[in-house]
Homo-oligomer: A and B are copies of this chain.
Amino acid sequence: MEINIVSDEELKKKPDFTNLKFGSIFTDYMFSVRWDAENGWGIPKIDPVSSFQIHPAAKCLHYGLQVMESLKAYKGIDKNIRLFRPELNMERLLQGAKRLVLPAFDSKELIECIKRLVKLEQEWVPDLKHAALLIRPVYVGTDPTLGVAVANSALLYVLLSPVGSFHPPGFKSASVYADPKYSRSWPGGSGDLKLGGNYGHTIYIQRAAEKRGHHQVLWLHGKKNEITGVDCNNIFFVVRNESGGIELITPPLNGITFPGVTRQSIVELCQNWKDVQIVEKTITIDDVKKLLDEKKLREMFGTSSACITCPISSIFFDGSKYDVSTVKQDKPIYDRITNALCDIYYGRADNPWGVKID
């Protein structure tokens, strides 16, 4: 690896970590490595973050040849810095690259490169509750040729950005807006991958929801209005079942659900919880209405590595508002999940999911 260090005077001043705007500040250094069909992978590099040259015909600007990841580095109470299950992000990045026919990379090696970068930038990892250093790998096809075809050159890079809590100050719970005219994912599509093309087309309805005073979009699919997720990726429902037990329901990984690392970790965590039964099954808007009518729906929340959990207190659908008592529960499940995950993120619990950077 080639590491190009600049003098201390050229380094940025660290921002106020208690007041960070999501994704707007980057650390001093980034990782990058180029590939081309003739020479294979080039030398991996750590350089100061800077703009780079791109040809206006680069395939990643025309044909969505781009896939990315989001994970975080956390400063633990023991002052160790940990990643959370980075191998899952690398596996998903590889799946996305495969779909775009970008070459595979050695994911263990990429994790080592990321650890090296985070170690260099360790002062940028906020030592604060709910704050972290966002790690953003991006992998794009770069060759300057028109035509939807396999890329002959590519660029893989990693940016770091210190982030605070995903939720704005004073945020208590989300109002979500569902419009069956817009759909995030579809069978045979790429909704189970983190391709750039899954996001751009969602901004229109996201903004429409915001204009109507809602926080996020609740994604529906098909004529039955199957719920596939929410802005912040995955969705969970806490339901009291027929026999009085508690079920935690989330849509199954059927190709249209995003395979979130947080989702997977919650599913696995809850398998060890005796008082909660995790159920992966399809749930429609009508199912939710019925559960509300029967007073069985206790909580509804989104999950992602950005927000961990995001409690939802109302759904707008087809001109009606449906209230969910998520934040009115005495000991809500979403809170218990957030705490269990944060215990691992911040080293309060000893768990192999938390991977120290050295």
Contacts and interface: CB of A to CB of B under 8 A. Distances in A.
A334 B278 CA distance: 57
A340 interface: no
Contact of A57 (B57, B60, B159, B221): B159
Tell which of A22, A134, A140, A148 has the most Cβ of chain B within 10 Å: A148
Interface in A62-95: 62-66, 68
Interface of A: 22-24, 26, 30, 32, 49, 51-57, 60-66, 68, 98-101, 134, 136, 138, 140-141, 144-150, 157, 159, 161, 180-183, 185-190, 193, 195-204, 206-207, 220-221, 231
A195 B197 CA distance: 8
A66 B200 contact: yes
A181 B317 CA distance: 31
Contact of A203 (B101, B183, B196, B221): B101
B99 A201 contact: yes
Contacts of A182: 188
A179 B146 CA distance: 25
Contacts of A146: 22-24, 134, 136, 159, 161
A49 B144 CA distance: 12
Contact of A24 (B22, B145, B159, B202): B145
B61 A66 contact: yes
A202 B99 CA distance: 8
Nearest to A204: B99
A100 B23 contact: no
Contacts of A134: 146
Given A159-B57, A206-B148, A64 B200 contact: yes
Given A22-B147, A30-B56, A183-B189, A61 B201 contact: no
Given A23-B146, A62-B136, 5 more contacts: A24-B146, A62-B199, A146-B161, A183-B189, A190-B200
Tell which of A49, A99, A231 has the most Cβ of chain B within 10 Å: A99
Contact of A98 (B64, B144, B183, B204): B204
A204 B100 contact: yes
Contacts of A62: 66, 68, 136, 138, 196, 199
